[in-house]
Every structure is written in C-alpha cells, then in structure tokens.
Amino acid sequence: MRTNQPLVLAMMMAILLGLALSGCGKKAPVATQEVAKPESGAMGPAEPLETEVPEGDTIMEGRTSAPMLPIYFDFDSPAIRADQVPRIETNAQFLKDNPKVRIRIEGNCDPRGTKEYNLALGERRALSAKKYLVNLGIDPDRISTISWGEEKLLLYGHDEISWAQDRRDDFVIVR
C-alpha cells in the first residue's frame, strides 16, 4: 500500500488549523471572591507593608528619611560595598549631629530567592549597616533593624536595574 504524502500532509494541516481556530473562542469571565484577611491567630496580627514616615519628614531616595541615604548591595551579599561607604558615613554624621534621633534600618532584597532566604538576607544586610554605624560611634540603642526581604519592592521589573534598586537598606527616622 502506497501513501499519498501530499494528501496526508494537507489533511494534517487542515486538522491543525481547525483545532487552532476552534480553541480561540471567547471564554466566560471567572467570578472572583474577596479573600478574608485574618485578624489574628496562627499568623498573628496583620502588619502594614508601608513605611510610616513621621509628619514633617521627607523621603529622598528609596524609603529612607531625608537627609539620610539608602545603601545598596551586590546580589546575594550583606557586605557594604566600597562605593556605599560615603553614603553610610553621611548617615553616621547626621546621627552624630542629631543625638536624639533614633532610626530603623530596613533590609530589603530583590525578588529572586525564596521568601525565607530573602528575609534572612535582608536581616544580615540591616545588621551589617547597624554594625558599621556602631563602629563609627553611633549608640546601638538608637538603632533598630527589620528585614522586609522582598516584601517592599521599589521596582517590579525583571531586570538588573530593577533588582539593583531593591537590594538596599533604608534608614528611617523613628520617634
């Protein structure tokens, strides 16, 4: 038995074209439900992801209170880069000039990595900056730290420019 290849090929093309066109029908919209947020319980009380800025303060860059500056990190690193030393020294000088100011260092990460890993990395970044400030003469009791991990992204892009902005410590004045 001899097959007729052009005929078989034409039939296959017709079937594929038919399947492709029939799969493009309009789909019915899916109803969405609002998910109830837990008040408290196993997950604990809900915490806002917004950084609270005291009245009268301004944000210059990132979520850092003016006149301080955020510092940025390399991928997967809590080490303070050489190009960021002048920024953290500016923050230390501000704190020396304003001895009643208390700050919170907020460690942040880009969205790559697991949530748990990023929370740990954000904590190491915040603690690294705190240690640097303490070594510059700032009282450690004036500095608290928190890790946001990947929860407070500034940029949501999937490129190195976006990720580089999200790998930072913010310095927030607290009262």
Q: Is residue 125 pLDDT above 60, yes or no? A: yes
Give the residue numbers spanning the domain of 106.
59-174
Look up residue 91 and give its amino acid: N
Count of domains observed in the chain: 1
Is position 31 within any domain?
A: no
44 lies in some domain: no
Percent of the chain with pLDDT over 70: 68
Exposure class string for 35-56: b at 16+ Cβ within 10 A, else e:
eeeeeeeeeeeeeeeebeeeee
Instruction: Specify the CATH number for the domain of residue 170.
Output: 3.30.1330.60
Categorize the per-residue pLDDT at 40 as very low, low, confident or very high, splitting at 50, 70 and 90.
very low
Q: Is position 21 within any domain?
A: no
Averaging pLDDT over each range in 7-21, 31-45, 113-127, 142-156, which range is the top one?
113-127
**Pairing relationship of beta strands 143-149 and 64-65 according to DSSP bridges:** unpaired
Q: Is 9 part of a structural domain of the chain? A: no
> What's the rounded Cα separation, in Å, for the pair 21 and 19?
6
Answer yes or no: is 34 within a domain.
no
Do the domain assignments include residue 150? yes
C-alpha dihedral (14, 15, 16, 20), degrees to nearest 10:
100
- Residue 2 falls inside a structural domain: no
Question: For the chain, what percent of residues have pLDDT higher than 90?
Answer: 50
1 part of a folded domain: no
Surface-to-core class of residue 103, CB atoms within 10 Å of its CB (0-12 exposed, 13-18 middle, 19+ buried): buried
